[in-house]
Amino acid sequence: MNIYGHKLLLVSAISLVLGSTACYAAETAQKTDTTSSIANARQEAQIWTTYALSPYLRANELSVSVTAGKATLTGHVAEDVHKELAGEIAAGVTGIEKVDNQIIVDADYTATPKANSRSYGDVIDDATITTAVKSKLLWSKHTEGMDTKVVTHNGKVQLSGTVASSQAKQQAEKLAKNTDGVRAVDNQLKISDKAQTAENSSIIADSWITTKVKSTYMYSSNVASSDISVTTNAGVVTLTGKVDSGVEQALAVELAQNVRGVKSVLSDKLTF
């Protein structure tokens, strides 16, 4: 092969290497851009979802844009504290390094009403209420075995189905009314001789009782669950801590007594 041929092969090899390097660099850059775009979208969704779930921000028309760790917030709110809340929520998202809070505070601002539709936050609130009410009915010794349907719409709970006694019907309504977020209860439960009655003969673990009493407090609107300590020994529940009033103390005792498996409640150490 002559010198010209050697040079031609060398140039071709160099061109091939340079071309491969350029393609690799382009593919790497494209993958980096795709990864970055996914991260931006994930952070935007996390911030927006938190706004939608917040009772203070869900009614406001807020927009979120994230680029390379910087969140830009726009829209209107009626109070400074709501603007600050929006900024703190965005800053708390993993990967957000800077927040450009351009939200405008306008005391006269009113969100545009959406006809015949509920916000994402409203739907989640109703689902949460329904779950809480169902759980409390399932744990209660008075409503165990009842055939009940729970439906929630805008904080209004509808109970339907059958119960074994008027006491069970009243207790179901009381448990629903005392659930956090409930605005009203439509009690359509019917008393039926065929409805199952509670079976109190089974032995229930103390740990289960303690967990359900604590959960009942957490779901209740008139009891500060974080201030009450619950322990159970052989079905006897002991409550300790502080409450705001005698009414709250009495309600805490009543709620504990209603949980399946509870034999008695000691509340001497629950003070106010």
End-to-end CA distance of the chain: 102
pLDDT of residue 155: 92
Q: List all residues 6 or more positions away from 250 whose beta carbon is below 8 Å from its beta carbon.
A: none
| Residues lower than pLDDT 50 in the chain | 200-201
pLDDT of residue 18: 55
Q: How far apart are CA 15 and CA 36, in angstroms?
A: 31
Backbone angles phi, psi at 253, to 5 degrees: -65, -45
Tell whether 29 is covered by a domain.
yes
Which CATH number fits the domain that encloses residue 148? 3.30.1340.30
At 14 the pLDDT is 55
Answer yes or no: do 174 and 82 share one domain. Answer: no
**CA-based diameter of the chain, in Å?**
108
End-of-domain residue from the set 164, 191, 218: 191
User: Is position 215 within any domain?
Assistant: yes
Question: Is the residue at 83 inside a domain?
Answer: yes
What share of the chain has pLDDT > 90, as a percent? 50
20 and 81 co-located in one domain: yes
Residue 34 maps to a domain = yes
Q: What domain range is 75 assigned to?
A: 3-105
Listed in order, strand segments (DSSP E) in 82-220 are: 98-101, 104-105, 147-153, 156-163, 184-191
pTM of the model: 0.65
What was the pLDDT predicted at 130?
A: 94
Give the tens place of pLDDT for each residue, 175-193: 999 998 999 999 999 988 7
Asked if residue 111 is part of any domain, the answer here is: no
Q: What is the pLDDT of residue 124?
A: 87
Q: Is residue 198 part of a domain?
A: no
Q: What is the pLDDT of residue 195?
A: 57
Tally the domains of the chain: 3
A 10 A CB-CB count for 253 gives 16
Asked if 74 and 141 sit in the same domain, the reply is no
Is 136 part of any domain?
yes
Report pLDDT for 12. 59
Strand order in the sheet with 184-191: 147-153, 156-163, 184-191
**Tell me, what CATH number does 225's domain have?**
3.30.70
Is the same domain home to 163 and 241? no
Q: Are residues 87 and 43 in the same domain?
A: yes
What pLDDT sits at residue 37? Answer: 83
Contact 226, 237 (CB under 8 A): no
